[in-house]
Amino acid sequence: MDDRSGAFDIELICVIVNFGLGSKVIKSAKHHGVSGGTITLGIGSVHSRILDFIGLSDIRKEIVYMAAEKETAYEALEELNKEYQFNKPNHGIAFTTSICGVLGTKRIMCKHKKDERGADNIMYHIITVIVDKGKAEDVITAATEAGSKGGTIINARGSGVHETSKLFSMDIEPEKEIVIILSEADKTNEIVSLVGKNLKIDEPGNGIIYVQNANRTYGIYK
């Protein structure tokens, strides 16, 4: 039964940092009211001829996911920004997006109301692309051609060869890659269109793309 008595505005916090810092980020966030988080491993794509030459263009990343009430999330993220200095190059990227339910240690449901800032004020979008393993670099290449500054790649696996789970009516099986791209809002359509065209996303089984609003962002450079 849906319990509306505990309705809040809930934010998903995503912090992308260099390998080894994920646990420290969660520990810091706990000091500021966030109950905990989940860490996944990924690869950050950095486009640099020098880094390509010495074989360091792919940098190991940790992606930290945490959920909290909006006020707590924003306050915690401000403090994390001060501690980890996301405003400096290569210190990490952080953003939040709205979610409408958390079930786990406790049940929290979101309020049903429009963003007070209005959709026209959104400056960044989170583009998520799920494709077969080996296609993530093609996604990054297409996105970069359309104006993106790069992305983060996460390896995804299902629970077994003969078992699948449904996400947006698409089977997520072993050997998938998830690409997360933080895009300036005015470039999102072009990025999504070119990725969709180059990866033939409209054809069955080739992948899915979905876009979310980024409510707060840190570590993004023009």
| pLDDT tens-digit series, residues 145-185 | 999 988 999 987 544 444 455 556 665 555 789 999 999 99
CATH number at residue 87: 3.30.70.120
Whether residue 45 sits in one domain with residue 125: no
Q: Which of 98, 123, 157 is the last residue of a domain?
A: 98
* pLDDT, averaged across the chain: 81
CB 93 within 8 Å of CB 5: no
Overall average pLDDT of the 200-206 stretch:
88
Of the ranges 74-83, 99-108, 118-127, 131-140, the best mean pLDDT one:
74-83
Whether residue 186 sits in one domain with residue 112: yes
Overall average pLDDT of the 84-95 stretch:
92
Whether 3 is covered by a domain: the verdict is no
Whether 220 is covered by a domain: the verdict is no
Structural domains in the chain (count): 2
Whether 219 is covered by a domain: the verdict is no
The whole model's pTM is what?
0.76
Whether 124 is covered by a domain: the verdict is yes
On the question of pLDDT at 112 being above 70, the answer is no
Whether residue 106 sits in one domain with residue 89: no
Look at 57-66, 100-109, 207-216 and tell me which has the smallest mean pLDDT: 100-109
Q: Which of 44, 77, 98 is the last residue of a domain?
A: 98
Range of the domain at 91: 10-98
